[in-house]
Structures are given as structure tokens and as C-alpha cells.
Homo-oligomer: A and B are copies of this chain.
Amino acid sequence: MPRSTKANAVRNRQRLFEEARRQFAARGFHATSIGNIAAAVGLTKQSLLHHFGSKENLFSEVLEDLAANMADRVLAIESQDLDPADRLEAFLLDTLLGDTNEQMQIVIRELLENSERASGARQWHLIDYLSSLVSMVQAVPGNRDLTDSEAFARLYFLLGAVSYFKISQPTLQGMLGNEQKDKVQLAFAAELHQFIHNNVIHT
């Protein structure tokens, strides 16, 4: 039984990382123990510390990866040839329906943490993300006359609705059952569509 192979090392590091992201998203930073993360992938806590140095480091790495992935998603949408309104809707639908569960959970947990600890440079990842999205909102024909604050508010309105709905999924399923939950999700997407295209003057 080999106790260390170079081939598995990078793979193990990746598995630890993904398990960490999963647990941080599901339970939050404090409630997650590095021992649990390591055990979940069949390693020990000390192997995890060997790869990542400390729990804080590991978490920071998760946050950086998350920010990069969110930026990638925006870029992927922006590279598509769509009308501004459709582009905005495509982004929100991607956020709503795509594999963004863990990201949304972690972002919201960070928003909650910000009321207590200063939380240093982390939010500066967020500001670039939001800026590009505000531009996306302002590009919609009906929104050209909006001030920056108004565009930001409209974006946050949409983003908040989608994020909140996303993290409510397990609760809604438990409350309404599976079919009803799907119906509501369909109606929610329609709501989104209507809101975005409401003021657009089609040319």
C-alpha cells in the first residue's frame, strides 16, 4: 500500500479542495472542520494541512476559485451574440439554473459575515463582478437613462431575487414537494423574463 505517489498527490489536493468547497458552502466556515474534510476523501487532517497550510488558507483558496468562476460565467455570457436584454436574462437564468449552488451559498454566507468581522479584501473581488453586471443592465435599451445608483439597484433587485430563490430550493422542496417546487421555479423564471423585458423598447 503506497503512502505517497506523485501521481495521486495533485489529485488528492483537488479532491480535498472540492470537498472543502462543498462543506464550507453547506455548513459555513466555523462549522466545518478540516478533519472532516480530510476524512471525507480518505485522508488525514495533517495531509490536508500539508497541502494548504491552514484552514484559513484553504478557505481563501476556495473564495478565489469562486470569484474566478463567477467572472468566467459573466465572460461566457458576454461573449455570446445576444440582445442586451436577452444577455442579462441569460446570465440570470444561468445563475438560477446552473451549477452555482455552492457559490451562492458561500457568497451569502460571506455577506452575512460582513456584519461582524471586517472581512478585509474579500469584498473587492465582488465589486468588479458587480460592476460588469451593472454595465450589462445599463446596456439594455430601456435602461439607458438610469443613473448608476438606479442601475445598481435594479441589478441588485434581480440578483437578490435569484440568489435568495436559489438557496431556498431545499426548503421549498421540503415545504411544497417536488412538483409544486418545479412549477414555482417555472413561474419564477417567467417573472424574471417579464421584469427584464418590461421596459425594453424593441427596435
Bound Cα distance from A105 to B175, whole angstroms: 20
Write out the residue numbers on chain B whose beta carbons fall within 8 Å of the beta carbon of A30.
27-28, 30-31
**A112 with B108: CB separation less than 8 A:** yes
**B109 with A153: CB separation less than 8 A:** no
Write out the residue numbers on chain B whose beta carbons fall within 8 Å of the beta carbon of A190.
150, 153
Write out the residue numbers on chain B whose beta carbons fall within 8 Å of the beta carbon of A154.
187, 191
- Give the number of residues in A that approach B within 8 Å (Cβ atoms): 53
Bound Cα distance from A31 to B184, whole angstroms: 34
Shortest distance between the CB of A193 and any CB in chain B (Å)? 12
Write out the residue numbers on chain B whose beta carbons fall within 8 Å of the beta carbon of A168.
111, 156, 160
Write out the residue numbers on chain B whose beta carbons fall within 8 Å of the beta carbon of A186.
149
Write out the residue numbers on chain B whose beta carbons fall within 8 Å of the beta carbon of A162.
160
**Chain A 113-134 interface 0/1 with B at a Cβ cutoff of 8 Å (1 = within):** 0111000000100110010000
Shortest distance between the CB of A22 and any CB in chain B (Å)? 10
**B153 with A191: CB separation less than 8 A:** yes
Enumerate A8-35 residues with CB–CB distance to B below 8 Å: 26-31
Write out the residue numbers on chain B whose beta carbons fall within 8 Å of the beta carbon of A26.
115-116
Bound Cα distance from A191 to B160, whole angstroms: 13
**Chain A 83-112 interface 0/1 with B at a Cβ cutoff of 8 Å (1 = within):** 000000000000000000100010011011
Pick from B109, B115, B123, B149: contact of A180, CB below 8 A.
Answer: B149
**Chain A 131-166 interface 0/1 with B at a Cβ cutoff of 8 Å (1 = within):** 000000000000000010110111011111111110
**A170 with B114: CB separation less than 8 A:** yes
Enumerate A171-194 residues with CB–CB distance to B below 8 Å: 171, 174-175, 180, 183-188, 190-192
**A127 with B157: CB separation less than 8 A:** no
Closest 3 CB pairs of A and B: A160-B164, A153-B187, A30-B31
